[in-house]
């Protein structure tokens, strides 16, 4: 480590643990992004006005020094890295970061927390292998003793799960989680979502729905948690050689079970060595590791919701899936939130979309327990036949017993409020739901408003009306490129290698869309645009304005990844004011000079066809791995010199 880096890291470790860890994570991510895409000038410019950069790097001790050690230079409004800056400095920073985390973990103020090697790819065994002499650096969540009442295994699990939910009420944990959440940025984005809904309501003359800024913040938290905070792990990379591993068996090594009683062992496909993968339930540890499967995801997400001040519940389906519910104050009802899928308020997705056989679905919080099975099924009689773990009376008695224990120290007014809320929820459950999208939440306006807020479309289509306007000052050479990545969910407008504009969110770069949404498949790690479930056709278009660019269009090249299955169909059409061409099917790249001299272009994609209940998935745009960084939609406009 060179002296400049060493001095920068020394200053960085003068911060509290949360500040130190988050600052180092962001700095490492900046370095990694530039190394992955060294020609993207946008990544080399950090605006001082950016809330994340300002609050989590510039405002902390050693933050500016680390940027300078990486090669950034301070200017009036930005920290900028010159294109000639040697990438070796970034590589040294990343190596120094890893080395510092491994060998200097006690230098930071970590007296009350777990230290691990890297927040995105932590060593699976480091926490478990903490030496006895360092036990004082670990602070686990300490819960009151649990006394089990029941001998029935299912009823015992209710007691254990309810007891575990008490950890969400730990104020220290809530404070830790709150510091990690970019609240200011999310509030700004939530306001934008709300304005979008209000504009649509006014334009379409709809009734004003019962949706507040809290509801929009829930969507923002889901997006941030999935895209920026937590990582899905099927099998961890080999700790010895870094190659892929596969699950072998559960460990019985007590040394690995210091902080959990479940440790998976995954065997490397190359070197055959074993890598432990602890399955932590302690959210204090999960705030550090930030990885796992649905259990870890929902566990940490529920804590984040409580840190935001929302009433939240950890929901367990006996069919082996977990998620979160958040109480919407404005709508006066519980909203289903699945952080793994980044979906909100679609409770029938498991029964209808995943074909799960629902039996028991129970929600747990620090002050309540509730059987919420009936929110997640439209087949009450079938579900009742599968509920054989105990009698319905035994189940109800156990719920009441556990609830009374949780609420015995609450004020009379709080208990009364919770009782009224439970009764309203039970009334909701009396009506059997259907799989129809418009009936999914039992309200006629809810489905439409949520789809708009998520950037999806309603019955009449949402018009972004964004136009890619080509200006004379944009040109570096004789062409411009507008491209989109489904995995990154962003557009870039480029000329001669210079990034002119970046737009985040697929819907923010379109001209019009009708019944289209962006789908993320967690299990398959794929992402794409598709039409809404249950509709026969969806469409999307992009508009390009060339009227004022002071150059004559010569050629248009369209690269567009499309994937069809069964009888699915993707239709592509490119039009100017006086010409229209249907682009050939099953070809991902088209180049044409038919639009020479045009002043306006509109590219339209129509998705249709397919078979069965999943027909909507049989025509896809921009399908790619969620781990890719490629841009699989690209429009290149070439002009005469």
pLDDT tens, residue by residue, 174-216:
999 999 998 988 898 888 888 877 777 777 776 666 788 999 9
Q: Which residue has the higher pLDDT, 462 or 164?
A: 164
Enter the tokens of residue 141: 């969540």
Packing angle, helices 213-224 and 294-307, rounded to 10:
140
Q: How far apart are CA 475 and CA 498, in angstroms?
A: 9
Residue of higher predicted confidence among 271 and 42: 271
Q: Answer yes or no: are the C-beta atoms of 47 and 94 closer than 8 Å.
A: no
Q: Using CA atoms, how far apart are residues 417 and 336, in angstroms rounded to an integer?
A: 21
Active site residue 249: no
Amino acid 405: pLDDT:
95
CA dist 536 and 566 (Å) reads 15
Confidence tier at 244 by pLDDT (50, 70, 90): confident
- Is the dihedral angle over the CA atoms 628, 629, 635, 639 positive or is it negative? negative
Q: Where in the chain is the domain with CATH 1.20.58.2190?
A: 3-110
Domain boundaries for CATH 3.10.620.30 within the chain: 153-233+293-451
**6 has pLDDT over 90:** no
Contacts of 122 (CB under 8 A, 6+ apart): 116, 288, 289, 290, 291
For the chain, report the end-to-end CA distance as a whole number of angstroms.
50
CA–CA separation, 630 and 636 (whole Å):
16
Residue corresponding to tokens 């900046």:
30
H or E element: which one contains 420? helix 412-429
Instruction: Tell me which of 66, 238, 294, 337 is the catalytic residue.
Output: 294
Selected catalytic residue, list 338, 368, 371, 514: 338
pTM of the model: 0.57
Q: What is the pLDDT of residue 208?
A: 65
Work out the pLDDT band at 47, boundaries 50, 70, 90: confident
218 has pLDDT over 50: yes
State whether the Cα torsion 68-71-72-74 is positive or negative.
positive
338 is catalytic: yes
Instruction: Read off the pLDDT of residues 53-65 as tens digits, 9 standing for 90 and up.
Output: 888 899 898 899 9
Confidence of residue 521 (pLDDT cuts 50, 70, 90): confident
Q: Which SS3 state, helix, strand or coil, does residue 89 take?
A: helix
Residue entry with tokens 């230290």 = 115
Say yes or no to pLDDT of 237 above 90.
Answer: no
- The count of residues in the chain is 641
Whole-number pLDDT of residue 514: 86
Residue 173 main-chain phi, psi, to 5 deg:
-65, -45
Instruction: Look at the alpha carbons of 218, 224, 230, 233 in this order and tell me if their dihedral is positive or negative.
Output: positive
User: Looking at residues 68-91, what average pLDDT do you find?
Assistant: 84
477 catalytically annotated: no
Average pLDDT for residues 596-625, to the nearest whole number?
91
What does the pLDDT look like over 546-598, one tens digit per residue? 999 999 999 999 999 999 988 999 999 999 988 899 988 767 788 999 999 99
Rounded to an integer, what distance in angstroms lies between the CA atom of residue 16 and that of residue 178?
A: 14
Element (H, E) at 275: strand 274-278
- pLDDT value at 119 more than 50: no
**In this structure, which CATH number among 3.20.20.10, 3.10.310.40, 3.40.190.10, 3.10.620.30 belongs to the domain 153-233+293-451?**
3.10.620.30
Classify burial at 440, counting beta carbons within 10 Å of its beta carbon; exposed 0-12, middle 13-18, buried 19 or more. buried
96-110, 204-218, 390-404, 414-428: least confidently modelled range: 96-110
Which superfamily, per CATH, for 456-639?
A: PAW domain (2.60.120.1020)
Alpha helices in 37-87, H assignment, sequence order: 51-53, 63-70
What was the pLDDT predicted at 135? 37
Per-residue pLDDT averaged across 412-434, rounded?
Answer: 93
Task: List, in sequence order, every beta strand (DSSP E) within 505-618.
Answer: 512-514, 516-521, 526-531, 537-545, 553-560, 562-564, 569-575, 580-582, 589-592, 600-608
Q: Is 281 helix (H, G, I), strand (E, B) or coil?
A: coil
Sheet-wide strand order for 589-592 = 498-504, 490-495, 479-485, 633-639, 553-560, 589-592
Q: Which of 118, 163, 266, 321 is catalytic?
A: 321
Domain with CATH 2.60.120.1020 in the chain: 456-639
Q: Which two tokens stand for residue 118?
A: 């890297």
- In this structure, what DSSP letter does residue 558 have? E
Residue 333: pLDDT above 50? yes
CATH number, span 3-110: 1.20.58.2190
How many angstroms from the chain centroid is the CA of residue 315?
A: 18
pLDDT of residue 364 exceeding 50, the answer is yes
For CA atoms 106, 110, 111, 116, the dihedral sign is negative
Q: Which residue has the higher pLDDT, 287 or 192?
A: 287
Q: Which region among 12-26, 237-251, 432-446, 500-514 has the lowest average model confidence (pLDDT)?
A: 432-446
Q: Angle at which helices 213-224 and 446-453 pack, to 10 degrees?
A: 50
Question: Cα 146 to the chain's mean position, in Å?
Answer: 34
Q: What is the pLDDT of residues 8-45, one digit of tens each?
A: 887 888 888 778 888 888 898 888 888 877 777 778 88
The two three-digit tokens of residue 437, written as one number: 């999208």
């Amino acid at each position: 480590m060179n002296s400049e880096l060493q001095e920068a890291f020394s200053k960085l470790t003068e911060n509290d643990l949360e500040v130190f860890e988050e600052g180092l994570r962001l700095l490492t991510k900046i370095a990694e992004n530039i190394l992955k895409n060294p020609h993207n000038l946008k990544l080399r410019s950090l605006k001082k006005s950016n809330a994340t950069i300002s609050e989590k790097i510039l405002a902390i001790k050693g933050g500016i020094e680390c940027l300078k050690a990486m090669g950034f230079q301070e200017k009036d409004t930005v920290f900028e890295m010159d294109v000639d800056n040697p990438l070796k400095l970034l590589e040294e920073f990343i190596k120094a970061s890893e080395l510092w985390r491994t060998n200097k973990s006690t230098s930071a103020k970590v007296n009350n927390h777990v230290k691990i090697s890297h927040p995105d790819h932590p060593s699976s065994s480091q926490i478990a292998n903490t030496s006895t002499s360092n036990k004082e650096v670990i602070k686990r969540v300490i819960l009151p003793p649990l006394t089990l009442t029941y001998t029935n295994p299912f009823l015992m699990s209710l007691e254990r799960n309810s007891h575990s939910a008490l950890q969400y009420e730990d104020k220290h944990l809530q404070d830790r989680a709150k510091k990690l959440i970019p609240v200011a940025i999310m509030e700004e984005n939530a306001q934008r979502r709300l304005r979008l809904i209000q504009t649509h309501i006014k334009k379409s003359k709809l009734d004003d729905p019962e949706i507040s800024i809290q509801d929009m913040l829930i969507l923002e938290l889901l997006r941030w948690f999935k895209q920026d905070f937590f990582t899905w792990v099927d099998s961890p990379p080999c700790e010895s050689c870094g190659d892929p591993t596969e699950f072998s068996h559960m460990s019985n090594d007590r040394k690995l079970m210091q902080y959990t009683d479940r440790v998976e062992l995954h065997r490397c496909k190359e070197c055959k060595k074993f890598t432990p993968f602890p399955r932590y339930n302690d959210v204090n540890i999960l705030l550090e590791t930030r990885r796992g499967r649905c259990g870890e995801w929902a566990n940490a997400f529920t804590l984040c919701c409580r840190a935001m001040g929302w009433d939240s519940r950890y929901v367990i389906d006996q069919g082996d899936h977990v998620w979160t519910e958040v109480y919407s104050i404005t709508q006066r009802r519980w909203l289903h939130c699945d952080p793994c899928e980044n979906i909100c308020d679609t409770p029938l997705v498991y029964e209808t979309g995943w074909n799960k056989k629902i039996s028991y679905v129970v929600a747990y919080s620090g002050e309540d327990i509730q059987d919420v099975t009936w929110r997640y099924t439209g087949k009450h009689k079938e579900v009742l036949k599968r509920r054989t773990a105990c009698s319905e009376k035994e189940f109800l008695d156990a719920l009441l017993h556990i609830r009374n224990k949780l609420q015995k120290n609450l004020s009379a007014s709080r208990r009364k409020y919770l009782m009224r809320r439970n009764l309203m929820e039970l009334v909701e459950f009396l009506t059997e739901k259907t799989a129809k999208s418009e009936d999914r939440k039992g309200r006629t306006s809810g489905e439409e408003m949520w789809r708009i807020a998520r950037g999806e479309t309603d019955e009449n289509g949402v018009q972004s009306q964004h136009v890619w306007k080509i200006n004379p000052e944009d040109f570096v050479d004789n062409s411009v490129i507008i491209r989109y990545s489904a995995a990154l969910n962003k557009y870039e407008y480029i000329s001669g290698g210079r990034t002119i504009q970046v737009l985040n969110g697929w819907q923010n770069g379109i001209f019009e869309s009708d019944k289209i949404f962006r789908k993320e498949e967690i299990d398959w790690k794929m992402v794409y645009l598709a039409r809404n479930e249950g509709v026969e056709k969806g469409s999307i278009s992009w508009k390009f304005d060339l009227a004022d660019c002071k150059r004559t269009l010569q050629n248009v090249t369209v690269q567009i990844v499309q994937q069809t299955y069964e009888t699915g169909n993707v239709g592509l059409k490119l039009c100017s004011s006086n010409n229209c061409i249907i682009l050939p099917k099953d070809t991902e790249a088209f180049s044409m000079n038919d639009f020479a001299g045009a002043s306006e272009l509109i590219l339209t994609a129509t998705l249709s066809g397919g078979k069965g209940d999943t027909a909507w998935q049989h025509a896809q745009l921009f399908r790619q791995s969620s781990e890719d960084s490629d841009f699989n939609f690209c429009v290149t406009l070439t002009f005469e010199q």
